[in-house]
Amino acid sequence: MGKVRKLVVEVISAHNLMPKDGQGSSSAFVEVDYDNQRTRTRTQKKNLNPVWNEPLMFDVPNPMNLKNQCLQICVFHEKNAPPGRKFLGKVEIHGRNIVKHGVEIVQKFTLEKRGLFSPVKGDIELKIYSFDEEEKKKSGGGGGGGEKIPQIEWKEEVKQLKQEKPEKVQEATEKSVLDEAKLQIHKQILMSFVERGFCNLPSSTFFFYGSLILVIWFGW
């Protein structure tokens, strides 16, 4: 069973964003790019201090190369009219600054401009880390593949039945004891017949004793 490296960017919150909706506010979302993988958070409507608390996960194809890669995180204002969004700031995280899961902390980053004429302000809080996930084996055909059949806890079923319908349990117990007694008698009769040469009896006698066994078994 191999291991798959995962990269997680937990987008916590942003503060003091640039208003972009013409009404003194912004509807912000965060988009993260890593190794030709792109994903984003939900949009927080009309809030210059949005809170997401949203983890975004990526596959790391080559863990040994992670320290040489960059992670780009951009904040946008979402709008209905084309082009559909306005830039609010960005952050670039170098792979060598990404820690293993368990020692990560919330870090605050100042949002940066994308170009000379892109007014930006505010900051963003992120928690970034990686971890190794066990790769699940694909179930094959035959030889034990597929889903396991759930095991029934009979003791619990009987206990519950005793509480709800004790007379049913008593009836089932008596029937089980009676069947066991009939089986033992059946065995004793057969052994007796075998010891006395049952197989050498005339056909009429054979038929009589065979019928007797059936009556004892099914007609008790």
Supply the Cα-derived Rg of the chain in whole angstroms: 38
Q: What is the mean pLDDT of residues 124-151?
A: 61
Nearest C-alpha neighbor of 104 from the set 125, 122, 134: 125
Question: 118: pLDDT confidence band, cut at 50, 70 and 90?
Answer: confident
Question: 140: pLDDT confidence band, cut at 50, 70 and 90?
Answer: very low
Residue 20: what pLDDT? Answer: 93
Average pLDDT of the chain is: 78
Residue 72: what pLDDT? Answer: 97
Indicate the DSSP class of residue 115.
S
Residue 128 exposed, middle or buried by CB count within 10 Å (0-12, 13-18, 19+): buried
Question: 134: pLDDT confidence band, cut at 50, 70 and 90?
Answer: confident
Rounded to whole angstroms, the Cα distance separating 201 from 204 reads: 8
Cα–Cα–Cα angle for 62, 66, 69, nearest 5°? Answer: 115
Least confident among 16-25, 130-139, 153-162, 170-179:
153-162
3-class secondary structure, 101: coil
Q: What is the mean pLDDT of residues 60-65?
A: 94
Q: What is the mean pLDDT of residues 109-136?
A: 89
Q: Which residue has the higher pLDDT, 44 or 144?
A: 44
Q: Domain ranges in the chain?
A: 3-134, 154-218
Residue 145 scores a pLDDT above 60: no
Longest dimension (CA), the chain: 115
CATH class of 3-134: mainly beta
Nearest C-alpha neighbor of 46 from the set 70, 68, 28: 28
Model pTM score: 0.60
Residue 74 scores a pLDDT above 60: yes
Least confident among 34-43, 101-110, 128-137, 150-159:
150-159
Question: 60: pLDDT confidence band, cut at 50, 70 and 90?
Answer: very high
Residue 209: what pLDDT? Answer: 62
